[in-house]
């Protein structure tokens, strides 16, 4: 299934380019990202995209290879394992009662470039 890459990148940038990446060693304590995770959650909820964000994070966590690095941001040199750990923490905070998919059981998402208008038409949210 296609999903708008920029939609998900807009949310994950709140983590990968947020306040926590300014710490001397951001990955030394993932709790440093909690405020950024709450901001991401609040924004996705407000914009009505929480289900899309959950689906995307779940898919990226379960099958990161070749896909997760496109959401690394540009401020801190996250590697795939660090992004997976960060997204796993965010998922656990936002959806504590929702289990993650096992590798191979995740939604088969294709993160594609598409305009907001095309995304709205694709999802049936066109006005």
Question: For residue range 10-31, what is the model confidence (pLDDT) as tens digits?
Answer: 999 999 999 999 999 999 999 9
Rounded CA-CA distance 2/125 in Å is 15
pTM of the model: 0.94
Rounded-to-integer distance, Cα 111 and Cα 70, Å: 9
For the stretch 75-94, what's the b/e string if a residue is b when 16 or more beta carbons lie within 10 angstroms of its beta carbon?
A: ebebeeebbbbbbbbbbeeb
Mark the ranges of the chain whose per-residue pLDDT is less than 50.
Answer: none
- Residue 78 DSSP code: -
Whole-number pLDDT of residue 76? 92
Residue 15 host element (H or E): helix 5-16
């Amino acid at each position: 299934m296609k999903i708008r890459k920029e939609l998900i990148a807009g949310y994950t940038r709140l983590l990968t380019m947020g306040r926590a990446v300014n710490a001397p060693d951001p990955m030394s304590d993932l709790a440093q990202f909690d405020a950024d995770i709450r901001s991401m959650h609040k924004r996705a909820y407000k914009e009505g995209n929480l289900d899309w964000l959950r689906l995307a994070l779940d898919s990226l966590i379960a099958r990161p290879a070749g896909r997760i690095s496109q959401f690394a941001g540009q401020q801190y040199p996250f590697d795939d394992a660090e992004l997976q750990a960060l997204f796993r923490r965010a998922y656990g905070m936002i959806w504590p009662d929702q289990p993650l998919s096992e590798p191979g059981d995740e939604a088969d998402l294709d993160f594609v470039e598409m305009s907001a208008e095309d995304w709205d038409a694709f999802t049936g949210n066109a006005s």
